Structures are given as C-alpha cells and as structure tokens.
Amino acid sequence: MKTLHNGMGVALDQIPDMNDATFLQTILDLTDHGWRVSSYFGAMTDGGLRLYALLSSKAEGILTVLTTRVGDPHFPSLANLCPQVHLFEREIAEQFGVAFDDHPWMKPVRFQNELPSCFPPLRERGTVGVMDYFRIEGEEVHEVAVGPVHAGIIEPGHFRFQCYGEQVFHLEISLGFQHRGIEAALLGGPHKNTFVRMETTAGDTTIGHGQAYAMAIEALTGTRASARAEVIRGIALELERLANHTGDLGAIAGDVGYLPTASFCGRIRGDFLNMSALLCGSRFGRGLITPGGIRFDLNATLIGALRQRLAAAREDLSNAVELLWNTPSVMGRLENTGALSEKDARSIGLVGPAARACGINYDVRRDLPFGIYRLAQIPVVTAGTGDVHARTMVRWLEAEKSMDFIEEQIGQLPGGAICTAGGELAPNHLAVALTEGWRGEICHVAITDGTGRFARYKITDPSFHNWTGLAFALRGQQISDFPLCNKSFNLSYCGFDL
Amino acid sequence: MFRAIAARLKQGHRTTRYPAEPVPMPDRFRGYPRLDASACPDGCRVCADVCPVGAITPGTRDSDPNNGPKGLGTRENLSIDLGKCLFCPDCSEACPRGAITYTNDPALAANRREDLIVRPGDERRLAQALEQKMLSLFGRSLKFREVSAAGCNACEADTNVLSTIGWDLGRFGIQFVASPRHADGLWVTGPVSENMKDALLATYEAIPAPKIVVACGACAINGGPFIDSPEVHNGVDRLLPVDLFIPGCPPHPVTILDGLLRLLGKLEGA
Ligand code: SF4
Ligand code: SF4
C-alpha cells in the first residue's frame, strides 16, 4: 500500500497495481478501520481504464492511493457494503461507461457526456432532471417537485419529495443543471484558463479550491510556497469561511423569520468579503492565489486596516448571533429539526461543519494539515445532536476560531518572498491535495501523462458527499422545514455539477 | 425583545448612500481599465497571450489581418473586451511597459455589447436610460426574476447582497421576486449551461411582456471563465435580447447598482 501525505506527489509506477478483488477488499478493510474515501474515480492512463481510490486516515494523518485496471465494463459495486462510495460509483458509470451491476441506486449524477473511455456510454445523456424517481404509492401520499429554478437567487437543482400530509417520507435530489464540463476540459491541461476555472468551480470557495489546485501543482513541480505566502493563504481561507458562515447564520435566522440577526448578518458578511477585497481587490479572493504562492502581499497599512475591521466585525457578529441563543422561538425552530445521526453521517461520508455537527471530529486543517496549518493549529469544534441547531452552533464557534486565527497570524507574519517560481510538471505522477473549505473537505487529485500534461484531474467538492446528507436529514420532517434544513447545509450546486 | 432593540441601536443604520455619495473602493479593486498603446513595442502580444479568456486584442504593428477592427499596423488595435474580461491581475502584471492599468472606478455597465470594448483614449459609453415608454412602466417599480444558468454562486451572492440592509435596493423600487409571472425582467447569471438552457428560456417565456433582460457578470455576457466550453452557450445574448450588460467576475455590488440606476434614468454622466 502506497501511503502519502497531503500535498505530496508520487510516481505512477510506485503505486502498486492491484487486482480487482484486492482493490475492493482493501477499500472495505480500510473503511472498516475508520479510513474514509476522499475520492474514487476513473482515469484513462496507460492505454486502458483504471480506477483510483484515495483514502484518508485521520488517526494516522496520511492518505493512500489504490489502483486497479478495469478490463471488463462490468465491475463489482461496493455501495451496499460501503455506502460512502455509492455516488462515486454512479459517477464512474456516467463518466466512463463502467456498469456496477449490483449497485442499489444506479441513476444519472449530472447528465453529462462520457469522458474519453475505452467503454461506450451505458445510456444516452438524456434530458437533465428526467430520471426514474423513487416513488411511494398510496392514497394519501403525494409528490412535490421543486426546481430547477427556485424562489430565491440561488443555483438550480431539482428536488422531489414523497409526502404523507406534511411529513416527508423521502427526498430525492437530482442535479447536473450547472454542469460546465470542467473535468473534460482539464484533460491535456493545465491550460491558460485552468486557474480561473478552479477559482470558479464553486465560486464561493475560490480560496479553498484555488489552494487545492496550487498545492497539486506545487507537488508536481517540486515547488514550495513560502511561509509568508502560506500565512496569507490561511488568512484568506479563514476570511472565506467567515463570510460564508456569517451569511449562513443570517440566512438560517431569516428562514425561521427572525429578522434582526438575518439583517445584521447580511451586512456583516459583506464586511468579511470586503476584507478579502482589501487583500487582493476581489471580494471573493479572485487572483490572490497562484501556484507557488500568492500575488498580493500584505503591508503594515493593510495589516492595520485588517486588524481594525476584524475587531469591528467580531463585535457586530457576536452581538447579532447572541440574539439567536436568547430567543426561545428561534431555538424552538432550530432544535430537533433535520437531525442526522452520527452513524448515518459516517456511513455516507459526510464532511465539514455538517459532519462536525453530528459529532464527527474531523477537519483537514488539523488531521491532514496543509499550508500554514502544519505549523499553527486551529481548534476543531463539534456538536452532538446533528440537527439544524448543531449546524448553526458549529458555524458560529468555527467563526470565532477563524477570527482568533487571523488575529494571531497577522501579528506574526514571517518575512520573505510571496511567490516561488515553478518548473515543468513531473510526468507520470499523481499528486493529492486536500483543503478544508468552509463546507468541508475539498479533494483534488492530478495525474500527469508521459509529457507532464493532465491525464486526469479529479475534483471532489464537499457537496459531493453532503447532498446525500441533506436528503437523509429530511426524512420524517415537515416539508415546510425544507428551506431551513437546506440552508443549514447550504451546499454547492456548481461544485457538485462541475 | 429588549435585547433585539438594544442590538438594533448598537448596529445602527449603515445603508450605503450611493449614488448621493461614492462607495469607497479598496485600492486593489480592479475596475475600468486605462490603456496606453503608445508604449506597445512592435509585435508585442504578451497581454493577449496571458489573458485566460481571450479578452485582449494586442496593440501590435504586425500585419495580422485579423488583428482588430481599425486595420493593419496601428497601435490603436489594443483593446480589451470588458464583456469577456474577468478583471484578474494577469495582463496588467504581464505587460512590460505598463500599457494596461486597472483603475478602481466601478462604473462599467452598458446597454450594447459593443460598448464593452475599451480602446485607448475611448470616451466612456456607460448604460443609458430605457426608452420613454419602458421607463414610464418600470421607472418606479422594476421586478426581476433571477435565473442562475451555471453561475458559480459569486454573481448570485453579489446580486443577492443588494437586497440586504447594506444596500437596500428596495428604496429604488427594484426587487427580486419568486415568480416570473410577477416579474418585469429576467436577471441572468452564469454562462448558460446546456443543462439550464431550457429552464432559462421557459422562465423568460413566463414573464409577461414588455420585459427586459439583464446579463450580470462575465459568464452571462460571454461565457466568463467557461467561454468556449462545449457545455455552455457563451452567455445569454445569443439566446435572448439583452438590455443591460454588467461586467465583472463577479461584478461588485456597486457596479450592479450603478448599472441599474443608469438604466432607470436615476443616474447620468461618468
Ligand atoms: S484582466 Fe481581463 S483582459 Fe486582462 S488578462 Fe485578465 S481577463 Fe484578460
Ligand atoms: S462571471 Fe465569474 S463570478 Fe460570475 S458566475 Fe461567472 S465565474 Fe462566477
């Protein structure tokens, strides 16, 4: 078994080639021992199709990559034994024409074209959103269909509820509307437009994905970003988390009709975005990161301004969020709504604040540390109840930790250059890069061909794991609580659809 | 209750006063570009080569017949298409002569696609008010139905922010509504993915005429970072008539507000 650390590359011929039985058994053994599947995907390397599984161990702080060659388009499914791979298998089926015959829930993932593969597509691409939905029959059972266009200014997706009166028996989520062909276009890359596409894979997570991409390239070119660059990247990543967590706290308040917090947080979120703009000109951190480091340095004036604005925002945010915990009608709506058990969360591979709200004590920043988090620890926050209240509480506590972190880091910025020049990408290599975006684990895997171009670049956004969690959380809930539950997860459509 | 009132007093009233007062922009914000082609060396196309989305026509003197609208051999060819531009740091950083600088002027929106092409020494061609009949219908109340057609959630977020207390778009009579039947216009973000095309067109159809269309962000104007991906339609104006183009990736909220106020005749001049 080849193990590696986050942000490392390995030559392809160093990865043991397993037969399919060993490959599958190793995945089962490792997941039984607490490893999680961070990514599982197909790639056309060495003339045929291979499957690669990337697993991570929190206990050991390492990753491992397993691979096997797929000679026959019929491949055994693990989804029944290891539910966290269920969507990965569907994705491999859609992207490479591999039939997982005994898969319990084989449906389209994003209604996309097949990537180059040695097997023909299993089905026509079809019309997005048109598929066999799970259906409950019964005189008093009814079906509610919502989307792709929703009521607010949000991204599109389709939701199908099976309801008995107000009660939701089952929710099925069908996505793919936002598909932009990102992975197909990355083949043969990197291209001139690759980095701007990474920044906009999920545009509210520009830093999270930008840093993951930069780490993958740094691993392939043997470059190291300076300590100064890593500190500034860390500050930007925490500002991104703060803006989004603040927005979510406000939106959750808004969805239970508590307007003071909703209004204040709507504005304070902007204060955090403006701090990112102070750093690099863009409220979303566009243009800050580049492979090898960053493109905008901090200076004494900016540090002073940042420190001052952060203190003001902290005061405003504490004041706004405080109101939630002291308002019984708000607590009544948040507690026991949309609860997900720790067992279910683990089995489906949930990540990020949603997982930590269920008691899963996992955070890439601490457990597979990258960048500045290798040197500076950030405390991980968990809750136990897995409901909307827990997801709200975790966001707030994380926001506090992020503010502490930035305050500490801007006070001790190391000197040095902000960008290290890189060279050519190593040929026939595989590099892994995980970051903790504000929604959770982001995983990028780059594989190069003999000329150092991408033979495959796999992106796994945290939403890929977590949409299933939202569907589970809705079971047995009132359908009127859907907006609140949805907001408490606040997942990415485009990050999923790619 | 008392806590909420105390918090309200503490948080105060902090809605932007734009357009009565300008919004202070961060120094590093990249807005309207200033081009100086007199500095361009012969045959140089460094800026065009680094641009990730092909927004630049270089100011070369070479004899490439496809090089710009003003004919061969003049430096006036240098132009940036703000409809494609992502306002990234690439070209200004790459140019060895400082021929491209981005000012922090956020007023960028225009009515016509061609008005987004900036050349050295150009007059600003900012958005003009709707014609009189439309203005009398929408001038005091304009409702939009927003459709994200593969937007990355940044254009969506900075559109959404206008309805928060920081910007309070409602004071201008502009509002985003849930149903296209209640709307006067379609607000598009994203490059229009193949998978969202039908839903976008169906939403447009559902809006009662007369109606307007706003393309918000580089994606909706011309595909943004995803330009020429086979999965996207390179923006909305090939599918629907567009009344307002708002550049940026994403546009700053003040760029959006400025464009809307110009469209409604509530703001004029540079
Ligand atoms: S700022 Fe605009 S024109 Fe310049 S390189 Fe970036 S996208 Fe191209
Ligand atoms: S223009 Fe830029 S910010 Fe807007 S949707 Fe496209 S990629 Fe996102």
Q: What is the pLDDT of residues B88-139, one digit of tens each?
A: 999 999 998 899 999 999 999 999 999 999 988 888 999 999 999 999 999 8
Neighbours of A119 (CB within 10 A): 18
Task: Tell me, yes or no, if A174 comes closer than 8 A to chain B by beta carbon.
Answer: no
- pTM, to two decimals: 0.96
DSSP one-letter string for B175-192: EE-S-GGG-SEEEEES--
Task: Tell me, yes or no, if A283 comes closer than 8 A to chain B by beta carbon.
Answer: yes
Considering only CB atoms, which chain A residues are within 8 Å of B249? 196, 200, 286
Which residue CA neighbors atom 4 of ligand 1 most closely? Answer: B91
Q: Which pLDDT does position A210 carry in this prediction? A: 98
The answer, yes or no, to whether any atom of ligand 1 lies below 6 A from the CB of B188, is no
Task: Tell me, yes or no, if B263 comes closer than 8 A to chain A by beta carbon.
Answer: no
Separation CA B246–CA B224 (nearest Å): 12
The answer, yes or no, to whether any atom of ligand 1 lies below 6 A from the CB of B249, is no
Are A291 and A213 spatial neighbours (Cβ–Cβ below 8 Å)?
A: yes
Q: Which pLDDT does position B45 carry in this prediction? A: 87
Q: Which pLDDT does position B8 carry in this prediction? A: 83
Query: Residue with structure tokens 């809006």?
Result: B207
Are A447 and A457 spatial neighbours (Cβ–Cβ below 8 Å)?
A: yes
Average pLDDT along chain A? 95
**pLDDT tens digit string along A356-398?**
999 999 999 999 999 999 999 999 999 999 999 999 999 999 9
Residues in chain A, overall count: 498
List C-alpha distances in Å: B141 to A420, B171, B242.
53, 10, 19
User: Which of A134, A112, A133 lies closest to A123 in space, CA to CA?
Assistant: A112
Separation CA A51–CA A189 (nearest Å): 20
Checking if the pLDDT of B147 tops 50, the result is: yes
User: Which of A421, A407, A479 lies closest to A170 in space, CA to CA?
Assistant: A479
Which residue CA neighbors atom 8 of ligand 2 most closely? Answer: B152
Q: Which pLDDT does position B41 carry in this prediction? A: 83
Q: Could you tell me which residues come within 8 angstroms of residue B132 by beta carbon, excluding any fewer than 6 positions away?
A: none
Task: Tell me, yes or no, if A202 comes closer than 8 A to chain B by beta carbon.
Answer: yes
- For residue B204, the chain A residue with the least C-alpha distance is A149
Considering only CB atoms, which chain B residues are within 8 Å of A152? 160, 176, 178
- For residue A202, the chain B residue with the least C-alpha distance is B152
Atom of ligand 1 nearest to the CA of B30: 1
**Residue range A165-173: average pLDDT?**
93
Atom of ligand 1 nearest to the CA of B86: 7
> A169-191 in b/e burial notation, b at 16+ Cβ within 10 A?
ebbbbbbbbbbbbbbbbbbebbe
- For residue B202, the chain A residue with the least C-alpha distance is A149
- Tokens read off for B55: 């927004």
List C-alpha distances in Å: B223 to B49, B90, B125, B249.
19, 18, 22, 11
Choose among A195, A260, A497: nearest Cβ to B8. A260
Q: Identify the CATH assignment for A2-128 out of 3.10.350.10, 1.10.40.30, 3.30.360.10, 3.30.460.80.
A: 3.30.460.80
Q: Could you tell me which residues come within 8 angstroms of residue B244 by beta carbon, excluding any fewer than 6 positions away?
A: B109, B110, B111, B127, B212, B213, B214, B215, B259, B260, B263
User: Which of A451, A473, A448 lies closest to A390 in space, CA to CA?
Assistant: A473
Q: How far is the CA of B244 from the centre of ligand 1 (A)?
A: 21
The answer, yes or no, to whether any atom of ligand 1 lies below 6 A from the CB of B107, is no
| Between residues A275 and B59, the one the model is more confident about | A275
Residues in chain B, overall count: 270
Q: Which pLDDT does position B185 carry in this prediction? A: 96
Separation CA B158–CA B160 (nearest Å): 5
Q: Which pLDDT does position B66 carry in this prediction? A: 53
List C-alpha distances in Å: A240 to A98, A237, A273, A357.
38, 5, 7, 20
What is the three-class DSSP state of A478? Answer: strand
What is the three-class DSSP state of A168? Answer: strand
Choose among B28, B152, B176: nearest Cβ to A494. B152
Task: Tell me, yes or no, if B84 comes closer than 8 A to chain A by beta carbon.
Answer: no
Cβ <8 Å between A286 and B249? yes
Select the residue from B152, B169, B177 to test the A interface by mutation, using most A Cβ atoms within 10 A.
Answer: B152
Cβ <8 Å between B225 and A196? yes
User: Which of B206, B185, B193, B199 lies closest to B235 in space, CA to CA?
Assistant: B193
Give me the phi and psi of A226, to 5 degrees please: -70, 165
**pLDDT tens digit string along A174-192?**
999 999 999 999 999 999 9
Are A156 and A177 spatial neighbours (Cβ–Cβ below 8 Å)?
A: yes
Q: Which pLDDT does position B58 carry in this prediction? A: 84
Q: Rounded to the nearest 5 degrees, what angle is found at the Cα of A443, between the Cα atoms of A214 and B53?
A: 50
Which residue CA neighbors atom 5 of ligand 2 most closely? Answer: B151
Q: Could you tell me which residues come within 8 angstroms of residue A120 by beta carbon, excluding any fewer than 6 positions away?
A: A97, A114
Separation CA B192–CA B185 (nearest Å): 17
List C-alpha distances in Å: A319 to A265, B8, B202.
10, 10, 44
- How big is the A-B interface in CB pairs under 8 Å? 181
Find the helix or strand (DSSP H, E) in which A96 lies. helix A86-96
Chain centroid offset of residue A238 CA: 15
Task: Evaluate the CA torsion angle B127, B128, B129, B133 in order and state its sign.
Answer: negative
A139 CA: distance to closest CA in chain B (Å): 31
Separation CA B197–CA B128 (nearest Å): 29
B68 confidence band (pLDDT: 50, 70, 90): very low
B76 confidence band (pLDDT: 50, 70, 90): low
**Residue range A108-121: average pLDDT?**
94
Where on the phi/psi map is residue A299: left (φ > 0), alpha (ψ -120 to 50), or beta? beta
Cβ within 8 Å of B, A 207-266: 247, 260, 263-264, 266
> B173-182 in b/e burial notation, b at 16+ Cβ within 10 A?
ebbbeeebee
Chain centroid offset of residue A293 CA: 22
B196 CA: distance to closest CA in chain A (Å): 5
- Tokens read off for B203: 């939403």
Find the helix or strand (DSSP H, E) in which B148 lies. strand B142-148
Q: Which pLDDT does position B1 carry in this prediction? A: 72
Separation CA A146–CA A159 (nearest Å): 5
Cβ <8 Å between B166 and A267? yes
How many CA atoms does the CB half-sphere of B203 hold within 13 Å? 32
Q: Rounded to the nearest 5 degrees, what angle is found at the Cα of B192, between the Cα atoms of B191 and B193?
A: 105
Furthest C-alpha separation in chain A: 71
Q: Could you tell me which residues come within 8 angstroms of residue A301 by beta carbon, excluding any fewer than 6 positions away?
A: none
Choose among A149, A316, A322: nearest Cβ to B147. A149
Query: Residue with structure tokens 């240098």?
Result: B78
What lines the ligand 2 site, CB under 6 Å?
Answer: A 200, 203; B 151-152, 154-155, 189-190, 217-219, 224-225, 249-250
**Residue range B195-213: average pLDDT?**
96
Separation CA A156–CA B211 (nearest Å): 22
List C-alpha distances in Å: B115 to B53, B125, B245.
18, 6, 9
Q: Which pLDDT does position B73 carry in this prediction? A: 42
B30 CA: distance to closest CA in chain A (Å): 6
What is the three-class DSSP state of A397? Answer: helix
Considering only CB atoms, which chain B residues are within 8 Å of A283? 158, 250, 252
A461 CA: distance to closest CA in chain B (Å): 13
Ligand nearest to the CA of A287: 1
Cβ within 8 Å of A, B 199-228: 199, 203, 224-227
Task: Tell me, yes or no, if A280 comes closer than 8 A to chain B by beta carbon.
Answer: yes
Q: Give residue B142's identity as a one-letter amino acid code.
A: L
| Strand A293-294, strand A289-290: pairing | antiparallel
B74 confidence band (pLDDT: 50, 70, 90): very low
Q: How far is the CA of B158 from the centre of ligand 2 (A)?
A: 10
**Residue range A91-110: average pLDDT?**
95
Cβ within 8 Å of B, A 85-104: none
- Tokens read off for A232: 């500034």
The answer, yes or no, to whether any atom of ligand 1 lies below 6 A from the CB of B147, is no
Atom of ligand 2 nearest to the CA of B218: 1
Percent of chain A with pLDDT over 70: 100
Average pLDDT along chain B? 90
Q: Which pLDDT does position B61 carry in this prediction? A: 53
Chain centroid offset of residue A329 CA: 32
| Between residues A30 and B123, the one the model is more confident about | A30
Neighbours of A424 (CB within 10 A): 11
> B83-107 in b/e burial notation, b at 16+ Cβ within 10 A?
bbbbbbbbbbeebeeebbebeebbb
Q: Could you tell me which residues come within 8 angstroms of residue B263 by beta carbon, excluding any fewer than 6 positions away?
A: B109, B111, B127, B128, B129, B130, B212, B243, B244
Considering the segment(s) A182-496 as one domain, its CATH architecture is Orthogonal Bundle (1.10)
Give me the phi and psi of A321, to 5 degrees please: -80, -35
Q: Could you tell me which residues come within 8 angstroms of residue A14 by beta carbon, excluding any fewer than 6 positions away?
A: A2
Where are the domains positioned within chain A?
2-128, 182-496
List C-alpha distances in Å: A229 to A103, A405, A417, A474, B27.
45, 16, 8, 42, 20
Q: Which pLDDT does position A286 carry in this prediction? A: 97
Checking if the pLDDT of B71 tops 50, the result is: no
Task: Tell me, yes or no, if A362 comes closer than 8 A to chain B by beta carbon.
Answer: no
B42 confidence band (pLDDT: 50, 70, 90): confident
**pLDDT tens digit string along A403-431?**
999 999 999 999 999 999 988 999 999 99
**Residue range A460-485: average pLDDT?**
95
List the domains of chain B with CATH numbers.
33-102 (3.30.70.20), 132-263 (3.40.50.12280)
Select the residue from B90, B92, B147, B148 to test the A interface by mutation, using most A Cβ atoms within 10 A.
Answer: B148
Percent of chain B with pLDDT over 90: 70
- Tell me what ipTM this predicted complex has: 0.94
**Residue range B224-250: average pLDDT?**
96
**pLDDT tens digit string along A270-300?**
999 999 999 999 999 999 999 999 999 999 9
End-to-end CA distance of chain B: 46
| Strand A429-437, strand B117-118: pairing | unpaired
- Tokens read off for A468: 């299933």
Separation CA B45–CA A395 (nearest Å): 47
